[in-house]
Amino acid sequence: MKTENLLLELEKLVKQAGYTIRKEKGTFRGDSCVMEGEMLVVLNKKKPPQQQVGLLARVLKGKNLQDIYIKPVVRKQLEELWDRFDEFKDSEIEELDIELE
């Protein structure tokens, strides 16, 4: 799956998990938070799609996604990313060179 397509699929999943996504420009990495009771994910538009995919996958890691349909190809990519995340510290995840098919 191409990176851009995976990014769109992960954005849909994050929204179905109850988050609002904001895309902003700046000198920040991006992350998730709760602001005034709203679950929020902020993506940096300046970051390459691979890093945005990594951020969204990290947000979804550990969330209860049992009630959300995930396409098999997307689930496979997510599980591969989650396995890679387990090998690194949080500070190193952003620097992962995420190669997607």
* Cα–Cα distance measured from residue 92 to residue 90, given in angstroms and rounded to the nearest whole number: 5
Confidence band, pLDDT 50/70/90 cuts, at residue 93: low
Residue-wise pLDDT for 26-81, tens only, equals 999 899 999 999 999 999 999 999 999 999 999 999 899 999 999 999 999 999 99
Q: Partners of 10 in the beta sheet?
A: none
Domain extents for the chain? 3-93
Extract the tokens encoding 50.
Answer: 């691979």
Separation of alpha carbons 2 and 32, rounded Å: 24
**Greatest CA separation found in the chain?**
38
Q: What is the pTM of this model?
A: 0.84
- Sign (positive or negative) of CA dihedral 29, 31, 35, 38: positive
